Amino acid sequence: CHRALRGVEASLLRPGISLPSRAGSQIQGTPGIPRQGRRRKSLAIAYEPGQGDGTEPRRARWEPRDWREQLQRIREMRRSRDAPVDEMGVQKCYDSSAPPQVMRYQVLLALMLSSQTKDQVTSAAMLRLRRRGLTVDSVLQMDEETLGQIIYPVGFWRNKVKYIKQTTAILKEKYGGDIPSTVEELVQLPGVGPKMAHLAMHIAWDSVAGIAVDTHVHRISNRLKWVKKETKYPEETRVALEEWLPRDLWKEINWLLVGFGQQTCLPVNPRCSQCLNQDICPAAKRP
């Protein structure tokens, strides 16, 4: 009997013969019958780089052609530090002997006045304000007509009078007379844009939160092709530059390009013949 039973079971377990699940469960539980476990073949799955293997694909960071050499040559051209921004820029407009809080307020006011205004005009207006004791309280006590007379002829001076009064009131009420310490808060103030906010962080707080891009930095970055695609607005240029320019250069780049734009790479009729980058500048007018 035992031999007959083993013969039946062997025939049932031959390859190609399937057992009902019920019968299978009975056989697996029968004493003396070895389990015939099937081993699944492990298949090696090939992933594309960065897909399912726990790593991200490495993308080559885009960089403008010849930018390091162009930058070094601009440094050489700016070595004398004799552009208007060097002598009368915002970093020269505040009272360095004032208490830190007052100094920071003066930096912010100088930046607000500097928009659409030559450095010479901004510097003169700041000097007149400082002669009256330029603090949050002194500006709040000043009427708009008097403030306008002092800051004239800075660009859009009527609007700036309103912005200065509104911003100063906010600083007094919300920040205890100091200025905000983040770009996000600074740009919420009336009359303060991204460029001013980043420069305020650089100069007033000695903190680099981003690149300050004004009309000079915007123009020159496009002429040198320091942006992947042409940008129309300074804020676009800032984003494009920050994608590739090493962070340790963010603070320096504004000072370098502003002075370069004031002296050599002019908005109209740039002095290409005097520029050390003439042979490697995409926009250069070559002889």
- Give the pair of three-digit tokens for residue 190: 């009336």
Can you tell me the distance from the alpha carbon of 55 to that of 232, in angstroms, rounded to the nearest whole number? 36
Token pair of 45 as six digits:
């799955």
- The CB density around residue 93, as the number of other CB atoms within 10 Å, is 25
- Residue 123 has a CB neighbour count (10 Å cut-off) of 20
Opening angle at CA 47, ends 46 and 52, nearest 5:
130
Q: What would you report as the CA-atom Rg of the chain, rounded to the nearest whole angstrom? A: 35
Catalytic residues: 195
Q: Distance (Å, rounded) from C-alpha 151 to C-alpha 198?
A: 23
